[in-house]
Amino acid sequence: MTLLSTRGLSKSFDGLQAVTNVDFDLPQGEVRALIGPNGAGKTTLVGMICGRIEPTSGRVQFDGQEITSLPAHARIMRGMAYTFQITSVFARLPVTENVALAARRRLTGRAVDQAVEDALARVGLTDEAHEEAGNLSYGHQRLLEIAMGLAQSPRLLILDEPTQGLSEGEIDDFKALIRELAGDTTILLIEHNMNVVMETADQVSVLNFGEILAEGTPQEIHKNDAVQAAYLGTG
């Protein structure tokens, strides 16, 4: 079953075409990596999917329903979660409160505390629970972003460059976490680290100059000449 699909999705900023006519389908339960050179339009594309950016034209469907005209918060309530590329945690609030804000959207009372505890344990931030989020290291703030995504217990988790700035060890933990989530949660992963893509993704979509250049398994993409050219030639 297809959880998310877009048809003819386009966005132009002041005449500059950022995303052109993207038809994109994401089946339920899949881990999909979205890759492409810098400026290929990846963040713009997911921005339109989760409602942060209004498309110039095209449609978005989620769970079989038209959501093109829904505001971002309503899409989130239908089961999307988006973690920011640039860490955007609540720096002056405690780590627990950051995650609790995410959890409270669907839970109340004691269940919130439990969900917070679970999410923090899964990303390995239990010891930092009572720190102020702004005092965490950059890598830990990225993990906190992911924990906030988890606490929403989304059907579709959109991760925008989650491993950027993480240490080797943290990246290994992250890969394990994705493998754990795979199956229950559909994941759309924007990623630069090809190592992570190869090891976690079921399928890969390549975006170049705002258009889908290729789709396939990580192995297929790895061998694809057009993709190689895009990365080496213009990237």
Partner 1 sequence: MSASARIIALHLGLLVLLFALQFILPAYHHGNLARIMVLATYAVGYNILFGYTGLLSLGHALFFAAGMYGMGLTIQHMGFTPAPALIVGILAGALVSGALALLALRTVGVSFMIVTLMFAQAGYLTVLYFGEYTRGDEGFVIQQAQRILWGIDLSDATNRYFAAWALFSVSFIVSLWLVRSPFGRTLVAIRENEERVRMLGYDTYRHKLAAMVISGTISAAAGAFYGLLFGYAGASFASVQYSIFPLLWVLLGGAGTVLGPFVGTLFMFYLIDLSSGVTSAYLLIAGLALVLLTLFAPQGLVGEIRRRIWKDLP
Residues 154 and 124: beta-carbon distance below 8 Å: no
Strands (E) located in the chain: 2-13, 16-27, 31-35, 57-62, 65-66, 80-83, 156-160, 186-190, 203-208, 211-216
The yes or no reply on residue 101 touching partner 1 (CB under 8 A) is: yes
Residues 35 and 188: beta-carbon distance below 8 Å: no
Is the backbone of residue 41 left (phi > 0), alpha (psi -120 to 50) or beta?
left
Q: Cβ of residue 90: shortest distance to partner 1, in angstroms?
A: 5
Q: Cβ of residue 62: shortest distance to partner 1, in angstroms?
A: 14
The interface mask with partner 1, positions 106-145, x = CB under 8 A, is --x-------------------------------------
Among 63, 97, 199, 211, binds partner 1 (CB under 8 A): 97
**Location of structure tokens 């229950």:** 184
CB nearer partner 1, residue 129 or residue 171? 129
Gap between the Cα atoms of 24 and 4, Å rounded? 8
The yes or no reply on residue 91 touching partner 1 (CB under 8 A) is: yes
The yes or no reply on residue 150 touching partner 1 (CB under 8 A) is: no
Among 84, 190, 212, 230, binds partner 1 (CB under 8 A): 84
The yes or no reply on residue 92 touching partner 1 (CB under 8 A) is: yes
The yes or no reply on residue 73 touching partner 1 (CB under 8 A) is: yes
Among 4, 31, 34, 102, binds partner 1 (CB under 8 A): 102
Q: Cβ of residue 203: shortest distance to partner 1, in angstroms?
A: 25
Displacement of CA 134 from its chain's centroid (Å): 22
- Helix, strand, coil percent values for the chain (each to nearest 5): 40, 30, 30
The yes or no reply on residue 71 touching partner 1 (CB under 8 A) is: yes
The yes or no reply on residue 104 touching partner 1 (CB under 8 A) is: yes
Gap between the Cα atoms of 101 and 36, Å rounded? 32
Residues 126 and 167: beta-carbon distance below 8 Å: no
The yes or no reply on residue 77 touching partner 1 (CB under 8 A) is: yes
CB nearer partner 1, residue 9 or residue 107? 107
Among 5, 28, 52, 192, binds partner 1 (CB under 8 A): 52
Gap between the Cα atoms of 155 and 119, Å rounded? 15
The yes or no reply on residue 50 touching partner 1 (CB under 8 A) is: yes
Gap between the Cα atoms of 49 and 60, Å rounded? 7
Interacting residue ranges for partner 1, rule: CB under 8 A? 50, 52, 71-74, 76-77, 82, 84, 88-93, 97, 100-102, 104-105, 108, 148, 152
